[in-house]
């Protein structure tokens, strides 16, 4: 399927950001090392000086001098390595940690598209740039647990406080990311609006997109509209392509889509296909388990309730932050 210039531009932008991030992080690690191990910088300068002398010696044809310098350079490198290890670092810390080692985040290897190109393409095909902005703002790094209340929530969280529950959910989400790619993992996030479900989905999506996985992340309304377009041949992509190429599918706000038999069967198809292919899925919903059973056929509901379930509760954070702003 031919890509538009805009899509190609977006893909190039993603690779550029990956390269920049890897290089910036390596530079930052180097600065930390230089500050923490002053002797390291001295050895670096010494090594550079010796390299200069080696070039001179080779140019002058003095073989013995060159061999001597070569030995000194190797000895300095070894000293640097030992020094770093003693300080708790390694030589690898100085190198950029590429998302894809094969193509060093260029997207191409040996004149061909690298295997990391496909997931990157999927992330571009099925989303606009809004998702990229969102996962930058709402990530594990920006997650603020103190936003969640400490008052027990009897009704939704069986007497636990939102903060306690969120601490557990956060740990589960981090494990999900850590174990991703080793096994199929499915999660059902349920609870009222504004209690952090979407935020946690953004954290997971962003972390996995950074690792180069193909994520399709949509609200239930968007998802079922797209599935219907695909089913009726109104889209360039097919349901097979979508399912096959998606490492993780996240459907946000299940239950907000129109209640039709077509949507129920598209949901059934989604769940079955992903289950058969051992592909991970995350679904968030405002519906309670009882609502799920009422709204979807038993087969769907019981499959969903087999997912690892994460409860959410407490006050609506969106309202809370809005009232904080008006209080200012």
Residues making contact with Zn ion (CB under 5 A) = 100, 102-103, 114, 116
Q: Name which of 123 and 270 has its Cβ closer to Zn ion.
A: 123
What are the backbone angles phi and psi of residue 160, rounded to the nearest 5°?
Answer: -85, 160
How far apart CA 300 and CA 285 sit, in angstroms, is: 14
Longest dimension (CA), the chain: 87
Q: Name which of 7 and 175 has its Cβ closer to Zn ion.
A: 7
Q: Name which of 114 and 251 has its Cβ closer to Zn ion.
A: 114
The residue whose two tokens read 């190039």 is: 12
Q: In what order do the strands lie in the sheet with 280-285?
A: 215-219, 248-254, 280-285, 186-190, 308-311
What are the backbone angles phi and psi of residue 84, rounded to the nearest 5°?
Answer: -65, -45
Question: Could you report how far apart the first and last alpha carbons of the chain are, in Å?
Answer: 52
Q: 3-class secondary structure for 251-267?
A: EEEECCCCCCHHHHHHH
Beta bridge mates, 250: 217, 282
Q: How far is the CB of 321 from Zn ion (least distance, A)?
A: 39
Q: Name which of 14 and 200 has its Cβ closer to Zn ion.
A: 14
Q: Name which of 114 and 300 has its Cβ closer to Zn ion.
A: 114
Q: Name which of 107 and 191 has its Cβ closer to Zn ion.
A: 107
Q: How far is the CB of 14 from Zn ion (least distance, A)?
A: 12
Q: How far is the CB of 183 from Zn ion (least distance, A)?
A: 24
Return the structure tokens found at 17: 């950001």
Q: Name which of 92 and 113 has its Cβ closer to Zn ion.
A: 113
Q: How far is the CB of 100 from Zn ion (least distance, A)?
A: 3
How far apart CA 61 and CA 317 sit, in angstroms, is: 73
Q: Name which of 55 and 102 has its Cβ closer to Zn ion.
A: 102
Q: How far is the CB of 114 from Zn ion (least distance, A)?
A: 3
Q: How far is the CB of 34 from Zn ion (least distance, A)?
A: 30
Q: How far is the CB of 118 from Zn ion (least distance, A)?
A: 10
The residue among 143, 93, 104 whose CA lies nearest residue 20 is: 104
Q: How far is the CB of 120 from Zn ion (least distance, A)?
A: 9
Residue length of the chain: 328
Q: How far is the CB of 18 from Zn ion (least distance, A)?
A: 9
Alpha helices in the chain (DSSP H): 5-36, 38-60, 63-86, 117-125, 129-137, 154-157, 162-179, 197-210, 220-231, 239-244, 261-276, 289-295, 298-305, 317-327
Q: Name which of 120 and 285 has its Cβ closer to Zn ion.
A: 120
Q: What is the DSSP string of 19-74?
A: HHHHHHHHHHHHHHHHHH-HHHHHHHHHHHHHHHHHHHHHHHT-HHHHHHHHHHHH
């Amino acid at each position: 399927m031919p890509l538009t210039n805009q899509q190609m531009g977006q893909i190039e932008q993603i690779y550029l950001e990956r390269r920049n991030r890897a290089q910036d992080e390596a530079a930052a690690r180097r600065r930390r090392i230089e500050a923490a191990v002053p002797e390291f910088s001295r050895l670096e300068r010494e090594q550079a000086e010796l390299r200069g002398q080696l070039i001179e010696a080779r140019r002058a044809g003095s073989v013995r001098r060159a061999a001597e310098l070569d030995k000194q350079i190797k000895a300095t490198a070894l000293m640097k390595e030992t020094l770093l290890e003693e300080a708790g670092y390694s030589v690898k810390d100085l190198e950029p940690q590429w998302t894809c080692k094969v193509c060093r985040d260029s997207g191409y290897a040996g004149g061909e598209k690298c295997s990391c190109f496909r997931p990157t393409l999927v992330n571009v095909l099925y989303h606009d740039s809004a998702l990229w902005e969102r996962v930058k703002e709402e990530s594990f790094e920006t997650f603020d647990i103190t936003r969640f209340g400490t008052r027990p929530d009897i009704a939704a969280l069986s007497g636990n406080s939102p903060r306690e529950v969120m601490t557990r959910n956060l740990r589960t989400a981090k494990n999900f990311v850590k174990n991703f790619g080793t096994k199929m993992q499915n999660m059902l996030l349920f609870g009222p609006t504004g209690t952090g479900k979407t935020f946690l989905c953004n954290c997971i999506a962003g972390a996995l997109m950074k690792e180069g996985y193909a994520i399709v992340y949509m609200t239930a309304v968007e998802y079922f509209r797209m599935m219907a377009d695909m089913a009726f041949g109104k889209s360039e992509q097919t349901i097979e392509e979508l399912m096959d190429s998606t490492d993780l599918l996240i459907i946000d706000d299940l239950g907000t889509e129109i209640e039709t038999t077509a949507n129920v069967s598209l949901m059934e198809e989604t769940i079955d296909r992903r289950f058969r292919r051992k592909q991970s899925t995350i679904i968030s919903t405002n519906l309670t388990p009882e609502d799920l059973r009422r709204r979807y056929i038993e087969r769907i509901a019981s499959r969903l309730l087999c997912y690892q379930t994460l409860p959410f509760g407490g006050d609506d954070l969106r309202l809370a932050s809005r009232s904080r702003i008006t209080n200012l």
